[in-house]
Amino acid sequence: MRIWLDGGLRDLESAHVSVFDHGLTVGDGVFETVKAVDGRPFALTRHLDRLTRSARGLGLPDPDHAEVREACAAVLEANPMPLGRLRITYTGGHGPLGSDRGEHGPTLVVAVGATTRRPDTTAVITVPWTRNERGALTGLKTTSYAENVVALARAHEHGASEALFGNTVGQLCEGTGSNVFVVLGGEIHTPPVASGCLPGITRALAVEWTGAKETDLPLDALSRADEIFLTSTLRDVQAVHRVDDRELPGAPGPVTAKAMRIFDERAGEDLDP
Ligand code: PLP
């Protein structure tokens, strides 16, 4: 496998990052996961804009979009695959053993791995831990993902592929790597960004394309919803057939199935040439 590190393509075995890189020592970094279909990245401009917003949120210098685009193209060309997940990682770079940043400047890594289309439906659990809707990192896609790792492991223990968080005021928020939508009385609702969720790119497209409303939702919306679905770069729109002990027979229901169809039809529009 060939990856991009600090200005050029390298073999994975010879691509080395400092053991004092702050992405490793203090989780000081931001990232994007971008879907690539037949070597073409999906919605790359939106991902680059969010990468910049996340970097600014951490006080990192703006990433060079031209370099990241070049890196994505080079990595995709060097590693052909029908469905890939590009991973763009941008960290605070080599620094002292503490939280202060060094003089070295950021590290940029772009890699790609093969992936497969996700099943149409999945099971989810809720977890008792909360997202902080008012934290310094709220809404930023940082590499500090350990909380998601823990929640996802719990989901797997329960035969589920995703764990959903509420926020500190008891509202529904998001999953470890996805946004959540509920269908109530025929209308589609998703928590607003103020709930503390990541402003997902698939979420934004789903809101645009389905007319879903951004609504503060109590956690028990999950027990009342007629249908529930998740959105993310790698799931697209995925119906939920079980949430904790509640089965949703017939998932995907009609509203979710329509959202999936719209997404399948329109997703090609936003592929970079
Ligand atoms: N929420 C979190 C915490 C995520 O990590 C992700 C994606 O990884 C999402 C939501 C979905 O965002 P997107 O649709 O941009 O993949």
From the list 241, 132, 259, the residue with the least C-alpha distance to 196 is: 132
For 170, 244, 252, the CA distances from 154, given in Å and listed in that order, are: 20, 12, 24
Give the residue, out of 86, 138, 230, 232, with the most ligand 1 atoms within 8 A of its beta carbon, to mutate for a pocket test. 232
CA pair distance 221, 101, nearest whole angstrom = 43
Complex ipTM tops 0.95: yes
| Ligand 1 neighbourhood includes 232 CB (under 6 angstroms) | yes
From the list 77, 67, 59, 86, the residue with the least C-alpha distance to 8 is: 67
The whole-number pLDDT of residue 273 equals 63
Q: Write out the two tokens for 191.
A: 């928590």
| 204 CA closest ligand 1 atom index | 14
CA pair distance 233, 170, nearest whole angstrom = 26
pLDDT (tens digit, 0 to 9) for every residue of the chain, 273 residues total? Answer: 999 998 999 999 999 999 999 999 999 999 999 999 999 999 999 999 999 999 999 999 999 999 999 999 999 999 999 999 999 999 999 999 999 988 889 999 999 999 999 999 999 999 999 999 999 999 999 999 999 999 999 999 999 999 999 999 999 999 999 999 999 999 999 999 999 999 999 999 999 999 999 999 999 999 999 999 999 999 999 999 999 999 999 999 999 999 999 999 998 887 776
| 46 CA closest ligand 1 atom index | 15
Phi, psi torsion values for 119, nearest 5 degrees: -60, 160
For 22, 139, 142, the CA distances from 99, given in Å and listed in that order, are: 8, 21, 15
Contact 125, 161 (CB under 8 A): no
- Which tens digit of pLDDT belongs to each residue from 208-265? 999 999 999 999 999 999 999 999 999 999 999 999 999 999 999 999 999 999 999 9
Phi, psi torsion values for 262, nearest 5 degrees: -60, -40
Query: What's the fold here for domain 121-269?
Result: D-amino Acid Aminotransferase; Chain A, domain 2 (3.20.10)
The DSSP string of 48-67 is HHHHHHHHHHHTPPPP-HHH
The whole-number pLDDT of residue 269 equals 82
| 179 CA closest ligand 1 atom index | 10
Residue nearest (by alpha carbon) to ligand 1 atom 9: 178
All CATH 3.30.470.10 domain ranges in the chain, comma separated:
2-114
DSSP state, residue 42: B
All CATH 3.20.10.10 domain ranges in the chain, comma separated:
121-269
The CATH number, out of the four listed (3.30.160.100, 3.10.20.90, 3.20.20.30, 3.30.470.10), of the domain defined by the range 2-114: 3.30.470.10
| Owner of token pair 């509640």 | 246
| Ligand 1 neighbourhood includes 33 CB (under 6 angstroms) | yes
